[in-house]
Chains A and B, each alone.
Chain A
């Protein structure tokens, strides 16, 4: 069974700190890894990673994938209180026509205190 594990499960930091969130996976026929930010409602898409070693960046957020070691990290620099959320990692995997299912980790709850 496909498995996605995120760590830590929760994290409390002060504004301005830098955080690194981890996601490791064991899946058959990996296609891509996605990061989402979930506040009180819809998970919001952040990044989709398919190739190893290529960093994706959006403002203060960045992410990279290591397909050899089967993990990804999400970095947030100069954190702000608005970054407080649950960060979800999901892996798209499957063969033939079934490579659309997302398997999610349980998420990392990030709290940024002023």
Chain B
């Protein structure tokens, strides 16, 4: 059973470009969570999704950030017009049920130059 997959593992973008981060949950998991880890900081919750639904996006910046989890395909975290402060590691986690341990992917390290 493959674990949570994320790609790309490393992404470099210039200021103003768009970044798209992908996450495929573990087989059988329908709950997806995105977290951001800034340098010297702990992981911070961003958004929780189920298939075709955003359940809670209270941790997402109000502008430039969006997330989706379509019926088919991976979950996507999209950052428009990236700025240097967006540089961080973005982790995706999945769980089989909402009240269950979350399993993490390897993360995407975004660098904005």
Contacts and interface: CB of A to CB of B under 8 A. Distances in A.
A15 B2 CA distance: 32
B43 A88 contact: yes
Contacts of A97: 55, 98
A6 B98 CA distance: 25
A18 interface: no
A41 interface: yes
A101 B79 CA distance: 21
A106 B91 contact: no
Interface residues of A, number: 24
A31 B20 CA distance: 33
B3 interface: yes
A102 interface: yes
Interface string A80-105: 00000000101010000111111111
Interface string A40-67: 0111110010000000000000000000
A42 B104 contact: yes
B48 interface: yes
A45 B29 CA distance: 16
Nearest to B43: A104
B45 A102 contact: yes
B42 A101 contact: no
A25 interface: no
Interface in B24-54: 31, 33, 35, 40-45, 48
A41 B98 CA distance: 24
A5 to B, nearest CB: 10
Interface of A: 4, 31, 34, 36, 41-45, 48, 88, 90, 92, 97-107
